[in-house]
Structure 1
Amino acid sequence: AEDAAGMTHSLHAGKVVNLPSVGLFADGAAVKTVGQETFRLCSRLVDEMVTVTTDEICQAIKIGFNDTRCVLEPAGALAIAGVRRYCEIKGLLGHSLVALTSGANVDFDRLRFVSERADDRETLMAVQISEVPGTFSELYKTIAPRYVTEFSYRYKKADRADVILSFQTPAAKDKKEDIQELIEALAKKGFIATNLANNEMAKVHARHLAGGRAPEVQHEQLVSFEFPNNPGELGEFLQKLSGRFNVSLWHYRNHGDDIGRCLVGLQVPPDQEDEFHQFLDDLGYDHVHENENLVYHQFLL
């Protein structure tokens, strides 16, 4: 692993190197100081070293599971991650390579992190849009037919809004090309997009903190919805909503469940409350009004 590459640094230096600290995600292969005998053997027998990131290790665990239906621990999947990185570096295609895997000492706490970071087709992105009714739906249409897996937004200013979203690149397309195509397509619609795929703070923290308080928002109705988590269902939800009420809050994350869960804030002036309740009835989704929820008042207003 890149954050525990004691042997890599030692081989480059020609002597055992003491690392000041090591990352413990792949803890089964993380040591500050490699053994003298291990270093001697590697110096004689190892041709080249390859280091990998934590995300690449997570992707390797997923690949190993898809192929064998066995869940490897991070250190056990290092070889798969290394082979993938080696093929990328050397541009290898159509070759048969062997990865020696070992170790399945993993718990559910670790799996939660792995599942969040293992999808190498998923991209995290920040998009700045205008605060105009219907713009949210237009953003989704521009991203389609890509599969949106995350959508978070909170009203902040009267003229613009910032959205954090995740989407999956279709399997048949190159990921880097697809991201660039989408950024250009969004720019043509007046959206400013930033790729956060390599932004560790965004992936670990900001995606969960996006939003916050909106004391200036008026006539907000906060509703949590449950709907069938079918392909395109989120887009249909936005289409039904488009232009009827201004969206002041939106939070959706696909967790692989058969039910999609979405928290939505809508600005509903008093003279539109009857229309709003009729809209909810016509929508047909299970929903709960959250305006009296303690968390809403503590963290979102």
Structure 2
Amino acid sequence: MNSSLKQTAESSSAPAVDIGDADYLKRINTARVYDVAIESPLMQANQLSARIGNALYLKREDLQPVHSFKLRGAYNKIAQLSADERERGVICASAGNHAQGVALAGRNMGIRAVIVMPRTTPEIKVRAVAGFGGEIVLHGDSYDEASAHAMELQARDGLVYVHPYDDPDVIAGQGTIGMEIVRQHPQDIHAVFVCVGGGGLLAGVAAYIKSVRPDIRVIGVEPEDAASMGAALAAGERVTLPEVGLFADGVAVKQAGKEPFRLCSKHVDAMMTVSVDEICAAVRDIYEDTRALAEPAGALAVAGAKKYVEETGIENQDLVAITSGANVNFDRLSYIAERAELGERREALLAVTIPERPGSFRQFCMRIGDRSITEFSYRYADAQRAQVFCGVKLTNGVAERDTLIGDLEADGYEVIDMSRNEMAKLHVRHMVGGRARGAGDEVLFRVEFPERPGALLKFLNSVGDRWNISLFHYRNHGHAHGLVLVGMQVAPGEQADCRAALDALGYDYAEESQNPAYQLFLHSH
């Protein structure tokens, strides 16, 4: 089995119930969550199920009043407080979703709720906490820094600390999700997939399911760059990661909780990690089936379920994935959409070296064939060789990508696959260019291409081999027309012919040679 699917030290055949487990079963069955939380629906993702050959059900915790499961644990914890503790008020540290749960619980119970949030918390979550009446304190650049400051305030003001995951009452509140899954789907379930940060959700769900349905596999899913629980279970003790990635900010935790680790060591069957691209693809999968936009952490379980099916080859099984949250900043959606194609292996990013001569760009595109080009960035560098950054739409995943690379190399092109190069995907793809000192007589045009296969090749055939293309940038934006910036080396006496060729093409275009952005940053003076 692939190394990303790591078995825990104890198998699920170990005794399912001991005294501690019986206590958790009681705590979960009597948890005070439904004063504010709903019993979220368990719905089949029909389109995704058909694609992966298994029935995948989504446990829709994104439909909670705070658009996250965190409300359950926070409210259950606060509901257990004494009258004196409620009088003093509560405090928590959170990147957002737990904060909303604490704030809403505090408002419903009429008690003070102080929320310490990292300064890096998405604005949508900050506004939501304020809307629920929480007293917000922004401190530090990470959860750990916010947590340390919350502990200082707790000691100073005598507040009750509500931990986001390392507390039995919080874990029991989250465990009600497991209780609902078992009740809502009494048929056989092959596996339940759960996102993991500090581990409270995974611990609660696993504790309940293994107490009543030990045949169901419980699998935790973490980002590759924030896998603290997986590292702890592999080491047999809690470990602290030196750093964690912040893309899935809701699970960006350096060390798993003590009590979640204890419970997960006993009850969790396996841990998985998924990449940023795989998370983004899962966000899109959820959207296509539900028209809901999951946050990155909220899509982890779906990404894990898809990867599990791919790695194990299971078929015709019932799977459950908890969609844990939908508090995503709108301005992140373009990034998520861009990376989703790579996560589904529907796009290849290639760095290709081609000869620097008229017509070589057209020859290269002819070699790509009928495949849609999703992106093309190029800037003249020298008189012999040109480096292009190219995105190509795939219909047959990795096999098609490998075939394409092999065909290009057989034709003499130097090709480097950038599809897994994080720096290239984050930065370099947007930075290809600069001034080209050898690109004399350059004329710059902005062109609108109809978004269909063959449109680019039609343009290149119209230009022919007469004028050298010295700059080219295109990115598919999902619109009916693609926006292209193209530079061509056209002698002054041939510029009328060049415009005539563009007119004959029938595409909308405009000359941008005098645009100040071009003059300042791209033009060779």
Shift of 1:280: 2.5
Counterpart amino acid of 2:394?
T
Tell whether 2:225 aligns with 1:3: yes
Shift of 1:94: 4.0
Task: Choose the corresponding residue for 1:142, options 367, 380, 390.
Answer: 367
Tell whether 2:257 aligns with 1:32: no
Q: Deviations over 1:32-74 (max 9, x none)?
A: 2222221121111101100111111111111111122211111
Distance 2:310 2:257 in 1: 30
Residues 253-292 of structure 1: pairs in structure 2 closer than 5 A: 253-292=475-514
Distance 1:155 1:213 in 2: 8
**Counterpart position of 1:230:** 452
Tell whether 2:435 aligns with 1:213: yes
Shift of 1:176: 2.0
**Counterpart position of 1:156:** 381
Tell whether 2:321 aligns with 1:99: yes
Task: Choose the corresponding residue for 1:130, options 332, 352, 355.
Answer: 355
Distance 2:252 2:299 in 1: 14
Q: Deviations over 1:85-127 (max 9, x none)?
A: 2223323344332212121001112212101101121111011
- Number of residue pairs matched by the alignment: 298
144-153 vs 13-22, which moves further: 13-22
Divergent runs of 4+, >4 A: none
**Counterpart position of 1:117:** 339
Shift of 1:22: 1.6
Gaps of 5+ in 2: 1-222
RMSD of aligned residue pairs (Cα, Å): 1.5
Counterparts in 2 of 1:105 and 1:219: CA distance versus 1, 3 Å: same
**1:99 partner SS:** strand
**1:100 partner SS:** strand
Greater Rg by CA: 2
Taking structure 2 as the reference length, what is the TM-score of the superposition? 0.55
**Counterpart position of 1:84:** 306
Tell whether 2:240 aligns with 1:240: no
**1:203 partner SS:** helix
Shift of 1:20: 2.4
Contact 2:443 2:487 in 1 (8 A): yes
Counterpart amino acid of 2:281?
Q
Q: Deviations over 1:212-232 (max 9, x none)?
A: 110111111111111322332
**2:323 partner SS:** coil
Shift of 1:271: 2.7
Counterpart amino acid of 2:237?
K
Distance 2:289 2:424 in 1: 30
**2:274 partner SS:** coil
Distance 1:274 1:12 in 2: 69
Taking structure 1 as the reference length, what is the TM-score of the superposition? 0.94
Identity of aligned residues (%): 49
Tell whether 2:421 aligns with 1:196: no
**Counterpart position of 1:166:** 391
